[in-house]
Amino acid sequence: MVNEILARLQALPDILAATPILAIGLTLGAFFAGNWLFSRVGRPLWLPPVVLSALLLAGVIAFLAVDYQSYQQGARWLSVLLGPATVALGIPLYQQMHHIRAMWRPIVVTLPIAATMAAVYAVVIGWALGATPEVLASLAPKSVTAPIAIGITEQLGGSVPLMMGGLLITGVVATLFVDLLARLLPVKDERILGFALGLNGHAVGTARAFEISHTAGAFASLGMGLTGVFTALILPLVFRL
Amino acid sequence: MSMLRGFLVLVLFFILGESMRVLFALPVSGGVLGMVVITFTLMVKGNVSDELASASQGLISVLVLLIMPGVVGVFFTADQFSGQWLAVATALLVGTFLSVLTTLLLMQLVTARGDGDGE
């Protein structure tokens, strides 16, 4: 009797994993648990909540012995919303657009060069150290906000999980480097610091910019949005060559 | 209800973007095309409705949830890239340092030169 139930218990994760609801439940649970843990450990900048959530989720998937592929199948019900969510980024971008008028010259000059170099530095260094084309395609959109970067990587033929890992590391180290270089150079203009945070460090950098000031946050949002659009439009064309 | 109406607008612009991508064989994702089109539409229109603003805010606030299935994959596909970790780590660390430096120097240079412009 007990043995039978134990045997059924062992089969349970696979049966539940046959529908998308287990994947959705696990992802939602890890999302809230990660956010809770994040506030409990004092909201450290170097450890964004998404990393905590992902670690918890990976642990649970491994522990339940749910097949990762079947998790991905179910989680597609969530990922499909990334399309409309990417479109949604256009609304804050429109709302921040008036900041361009205050600083249009530095933005117009810096954005194309800096956004291009953010990809070029990583690809050239990776290539020189012998990374495969798939890895290079996963590194190229490292400074772009995640929903846009997923679209870019799929277009370039890279690996989405690898790109996501690189993206998060980039966000964290970009935030640290902006703080460091702001002191060394020195740069005091909050608009410049915010723009650099958003351009190089996407959402992680933008979160840091909002801690500096509202102005820095607004310029970070603008830098993140413009970098996303610019990189998404240019990178696939460059990669074809 | 009103938030759903805003969501419908986002879905329609995404479908428009996807259609543009397929019809013109563009190498850019449908989401980005939809985002560019909706931004320009709002700039021409000059304002954004509350419905659309609240729907977009709602979706953006759960972005982390939507990208998590992709992020978690890094733990399960790690073996695939063994032997390339040095290249990946160096590219990320050194590349990001250089690009932050480039951004700050360029911005400072151009701002200093055009000081007083449009302020």
- List all residues of chain A from 110 to 169 with a beta carbon under 8 Å from chain B: 110, 113-114, 117-118, 121-123, 125-126, 129-132, 135, 139, 142-143, 146-148, 150-152, 154-155, 159-166, 168-169
Tell me, what's the pLDDT at A240? Answer: 66
What's the mean pLDDT in A17-29? 88
A75 interaction partners in chain B (CB closer than 8 Å)? 68-69
pLDDT tier for residue B6 given thresholds of 50, 70 and 90: very high
- Residue A178 in contact with residue A194, Cβ under 8 Å? no
B78 versus A124: the higher-pLDDT residue is: A124
- List all residues of chain B from 12 to 71 with a beta carbon under 8 Å from chain A: 13-14, 17-18, 27-32, 34-39, 42-43, 48, 52-53, 55-57, 59-60, 62-71
Distance CA A139, CA A122 (A): 7
- List all residues of chain B from 98 to 117 with a beta carbon under 8 Å from chain A: 98-108, 110-111, 114, 117
- Residue B56 in contact with residue B10, Cβ under 8 Å? yes
pLDDT tier for residue A146 given thresholds of 50, 70 and 90: confident
Mean pLDDT of chain A: 88
Partner-chain contact A178 B100, CB within 8 Å = yes
Tell me, what's the pLDDT at B1? Answer: 74
- DSSP symbols for B71-95: HHGGGTSGGGGTT-HHHHHHHHHHH
- Nearest-Cα residue of chain B relative to residue A88: B56
Residue A99, min C-alpha distance to chain B (Å) = 11
Which token pair is A21? 């609801």
Write the pLDDT tens digit of every residue in B60-101.
888 888 888 888 888 887 777 878 888 999 999 999 999 999
Tell me, what's the pLDDT at B118? Answer: 43
Distance CA B74, CA B60 (A): 23
**What Rg, from alpha-carbon coordinates, does chain A have?**
20
Phi first, then psi, for residue A41 (nearest 5°) are -90, 15
- Tell me the percentage of chain A whose pLDDT exceeds 90: 36
Write the pLDDT tens digit of every residue in A90-118.
898 888 888 877 788 888 999 999 999 99
B64 interaction partners in chain A (CB closer than 8 Å)? 31, 49-50, 53
Partner-chain contact A106 B30, CB within 8 Å = no
Is the pLDDT at A211 greater than 90, yes or no? no
Partner-chain contact B32 A123, CB within 8 Å = no
CB contact A92 to B (< 8 Å): yes
- Nearest-Cα residue of chain A relative to residue B75: A58
CB contact A60 to B (< 8 Å): no
State the CB neighbour count (10 A cutoff) for residue A84: 25
Cα B101 to Cα A70, A168, B17, B58, B94: the distances in Å are 43, 19, 35, 34, 11
Q: Which range is least confidently modeled, A28-42, A43-57, A173-187, A220-234?
A: A43-57
- Residue B106 in contact with residue A187, Cβ under 8 Å? no
